[in-house]
Structure 1
């Protein structure tokens, strides 16, 4: 009887805690987490290790985000004179490299508006490495830096149950709106990242109609796009007082970055507009692709908005706490023709700092900043761990001549892709990316679904085994909400290997109790058709990418709403083919039930999507 009363008491206490977690503060995620930890403590009795483990994880994540948030700022620039005040200001995000010395780096686009066209053309044509303030007209510019007040971390032993819980709830119940301060700054110089520009011109060809701003053609924005890869070095008057942490911001070498690494982007959407609402907004993602010398060009699927240019891309240190700067946001919007790519363009901090150090040899104003630039975090965090993509299946570029897309190796000599990628051809070329080079293998199209089939699928056989192919395990179940990654040759795939984008499995649609369509929130672009949808942590193959979403009426593409064919549709067919070699086994895909056709009805010609 006593046992049941004890359990009833604990259940009642747990219920009250859970209810409290939803009543305390609707925006207080940390409060809910703390209440959840309290619930664990109630049930665990003397064994507090589960609660403490969760507390440590929450506290570590909170500290990482705080480090990132306090490292970012907003830079506004406007033109002033003795007799006339022009109220127009241009803003962007920035990164505080050293709060004590006031060293700040940001995107140079706000300053490009004040440089005459002749000087810009000369700088772009001659690969000029830097510009000094007199080239910009610094005496006529009012430069302001807005930043968050430096915070004090809670002291205490995280391994002690009472102090750990109390310290965490104290932080959680504090005001989540932190004071902001404003200070004046001076321009030290504008620096041109030559490695970034070289890689950028190679990757983003004009014939592909790339652009890095949205909306209609705008002469001023088009002019700005030519100034990508330039960064401003500023010295702010006062960022912290003497009592605050004055250590330089640690940074990591991009040369050791790997695709799939988790990253956090931090910037201020809309620049100088409503800074109290948008300042230092965080977005999580992964490294989608890398290119150029020492990975000068970084693409991430962390979602950013206009105004975040100049903000930081950070690499969390995991269990060690903290985060290292790895890049500076160049453009949050990448458009290819009329397709929104859904990726953020970033320049490596390593190569930016290298160019600044080259200028330090001749420019005295930068010599006192050497301590910041030499304080690079070692790349042991990256090089000591295996690549996040080691367990992911091998994907190849499938080229049918007029069309190209992606393919997934499901056996050493067998690849799956989409019907519209092979485009009715009997043979295609499969290109495997390895060590920055492509290895080409001819492929025979064994089977392609009919044009009337809702399953956009094709089977390609190789004459020899694919080089170093990773063959995936095929999933048997699907859990909406689970973390997934899409691998394919969308975006920059033809130039620098497959891209990775992360998201969740948003829906698994079934007919007759069998999954027939998957939807994810990963960014999927043209060229990713035939790519792989995999479980983020295990690499199990969930499906084959069929398409993203395009509204033909509005002429808008939605990369984060996409459709895939579940592996359960063709898993038994692959097994049958493996045992018998009978290609006709795949013909069943041409005659699915009417319910399946209804699920895939947006493929129909009369659909506006």
Structure 2
């Protein structure tokens, strides 16, 4: 199937049928009746100047659609008829290119807004991820409080539309993914229009690939993804690699504690359908595909590796750690994560339904050491046999695909299970042929320090240290980050495991000045 048949651009119209500045992506969810679904972002400009409708929305009431007669322009991508006939139904070829066009050709339609609604499951899930009084922000327009509040109010809001005089030219083969298959690490595709109506001839139905970084909330109502999403992609669909619909983008840009997250928030399609009074009719059109449960190889690997990455708490500080030796209860983390261990207990949690384990910080590098590394040992010797033994990657290489796994971003109970992102090993810095620093394009956020970079083969590649920040302009770059290669740490750890002699670990404090310059980012090469 060609999933771009269903994706579209939606522009809300004002007086004289002139498009308002706010617009969004969307999806055709009922090709028989021409029913569209998009995110509330498309209403931003309208609600900003209609306070009565905004107040009704806050009360979760239906907006007075008859009074305002909201209409929209809908643009689909026009495909070459001959090219359409040649399309493959294989899941490997979900997207087919138009040939010979300088801009993306479009089919334009008019549409009527049928319903504006709030998704209750998504609201509850968002409260788990970003409590109302937390330090999250979703504002990419300006910093006025009025617009800030409207953006927050619109976050769980979605819009149903119907195309006028619809003639069905799309084969009705849209399927939704069973919720049991939506898991961290699942490969997903966003099909949406960056910057919406700014330049659809260039951006209409652009494709971005990523993974589900976190599926949380009741019925996995809230999905975090590292697929590229920018303003205008709200309302755009997320598909799995079989072309099954997973969810709709609700927020393309998110900040936590003033730091850009690099992740987008989506609402699961199942939660959305349950919010609709038309649910019964629509689910006769788009059905959850009846498939037997089977582990996707990638999600199975992520689930297995995630068990090795623990939540670390030390006084007011928290971060992540990697269980590197389950039988000895040894956990690698960063020095700065346990910096308050001299006067605070250090404990770890394997998951939200697991008890805390008290640990000793048996080694921590000096502040003068370029390697931000510490080694924890579970107290009273607790064997952790259910955790997989790790295998270190001896030959990391540039361009290698990576998973990041760390306890970042989330709050309350959600923080006790890690999030995942994917990227590649962007730069491997070596000194005397020894890898000493890894730069990756995975999304690294506060809390992920001490977490792990894994290769697609499941081997342990790096110990996450930090992302990058421009302190002068107060801008962070989550996809420009630094990690310590485990192949460099491992000989010292192995020697300690065999001899219990701490002197082997102390050698990590004897790095030369060139290495210190590298890790302080002072090296000019």
- Asked whether 1:213 is paired with 2:139, we answer yes
- Asked whether 1:572 is paired with 2:491, we answer yes
Q: Given the superposition, is the C-alpha separation of residues 237 and 438 from structure 1 closer, same or farther in structure 2, using an over 3 Å criterion? A: farther
- Determine the structure 2 residue equivalent to 1:378: 290
- Determine the structure 2 residue equivalent to 1:514: 434
Q: Distance in 2 between matches of 1:556 and 1:452?
A: 26
CA distances 1:13-44 after superposition (whole Å, capped 9, x unpaired):
xxxxxxxxxxxxxxxxxxxxxxxxxxxxxxxx
- Determine the structure 1 residue equivalent to 2:317: 403
Alpha-carbon offset, residue 185 of structure 1? 0.3
Query: How many residue pairs are counted as aligned between the two chains?
Result: 504
Alpha-carbon offset, residue 207 of structure 1? 4.1
Q: Distance in 2 between matches of 1:153 and 1:603?
A: 55
- Determine the structure 2 residue equivalent to 1:186: 112
Q: Is the 8 A contact 2:139 2:151 kept in 1?
A: no
Q: Is the 8 A contact 1:251 1:376 kept in 2?
A: yes
Q: 1:114 aligns with which of 46, 51, 70?
A: 46
Q: Given the superposition, is the C-alpha separation of residues 118 and 441 from structure 1 closer, same or farther in structure 2, using an over 3 Å criterion? A: farther
Q: Is the 8 A contact 1:259 1:287 kept in 2?
A: yes
Q: Is the 8 A contact 2:6 2:27 kept in 1?
A: yes
Q: Distance in 2 between matches of 1:590 and 1:488?
A: 26
- Determine the structure 2 residue equivalent to 1:147: 76
2:100 aligned counterpart, secondary structure: coil
Q: Distance in 1 between matches of 2:282 and 2:46?
A: 26
- Determine the structure 1 residue equivalent to 2:28: 96
Alpha-carbon offset, residue 580 of structure 1? 1.1
1:283 aligned counterpart, secondary structure: strand
Q: Given the superposition, is the C-alpha separation of residues 562 and 89 from structure 1 closer, same or farther in structure 2, using an over 3 Å criterion? A: closer
Alpha-carbon offset, residue 308 of structure 1? 0.4
- Asked whether 1:591 is paired with 2:525, we answer no
2:196 aligned counterpart, secondary structure: coil
Q: 1:269 aligns with which of 177, 181, 194?
A: 194
Q: 1:582 aligns with which of 491, 501, 505?
A: 501
1:575 aligned counterpart, secondary structure: helix
Q: 2:157 aligns with which of 213, 230, 233?
A: 230
1:392 aligned counterpart, secondary structure: helix
Q: Given the superposition, is the C-alpha separation of residues 101 and 259 from structure 1 closer, same or farther in structure 2, using an over 3 Å criterion? A: same
Cα RMSD (Å): 2.7
Q: Is the 8 A contact 1:521 1:562 kept in 2?
A: yes
2:109 aligned counterpart, secondary structure: strand
Structure 1 window deviating more from structure 2 (422-431 vs 216-225): it is 216-225
Q: 2:222 aligns with which of 297, 316, 319?
A: 297
**5+ unaligned residues in a row in structure 2: which ranges?**
none
Q: Distance in 2 between matches of 1:325 and 1:183?
A: 23
Alpha-carbon offset, residue 493 of structure 1? 6.4
Q: 2:396 aligns with which of 470, 478, 484?
A: 478
> When you count helix as a share of all residues, which structure comes out higher?
1
Q: Distance in 2 between matches of 1:184 and 1:401?
A: 58
Q: Distance in 1 between matches of 2:447 and 2:157?
A: 30
Q: Given the superposition, is the C-alpha separation of residues 383 and 539 from structure 1 closer, same or farther in structure 2, using an over 3 Å criterion? A: closer
Alpha-carbon offset, residue 382 of structure 1? 5.2
What's the TM-score, normalizing by structure 2? 0.89
Alpha-carbon offset, residue 117 of structure 1? 3.3
- Asked whether 1:352 is paired with 2:272, we answer yes
Q: Distance in 2 between matches of 1:285 and 1:544?
A: 22
Q: Is the 8 A contact 1:252 1:379 kept in 2?
A: no
- Determine the structure 2 residue equivalent to 1:202: 128
Alpha-carbon offset, residue 338 of structure 1? 1.4
Q: 1:545 aligns with which of 454, 464, 472?
A: 464
Structure 1 window deviating more from structure 2 (288-297 vs 92-101): it is 92-101
- Determine the structure 1 residue equivalent to 2:170: 245
Alpha-carbon offset, residue 222 of structure 1? 3.1
Q: Given the superposition, is the C-alpha separation of residues 156 and 262 from structure 1 closer, same or farther in structure 2, using an over 3 Å criterion? A: closer
Q: Given the superposition, is the C-alpha separation of residues 158 and 387 from structure 1 closer, same or farther in structure 2, using an over 3 Å criterion? A: closer
Q: Distance in 2 between matches of 1:370 and 1:389?
A: 31
Alpha-carbon offset, residue 201 of structure 1? 1.7
Q: Given the superposition, is the C-alpha separation of residues 202 and 403 from structure 1 closer, same or farther in structure 2, using an over 3 Å criterion? A: same
Alpha-carbon offset, residue 479 of structure 1? 1.2
Larger radius of gyration: 1
1:588 aligned counterpart, secondary structure: helix
2:497 aligned counterpart, secondary structure: helix
2:151 aligned counterpart, secondary structure: helix
- Asked whether 1:450 is paired with 2:376, we answer no
CA distances 1:561-598 after superposition (whole Å, capped 9, x unpaired):
00000012211111111111122311111110222112
- Determine the structure 1 residue equivalent to 2:408: 490
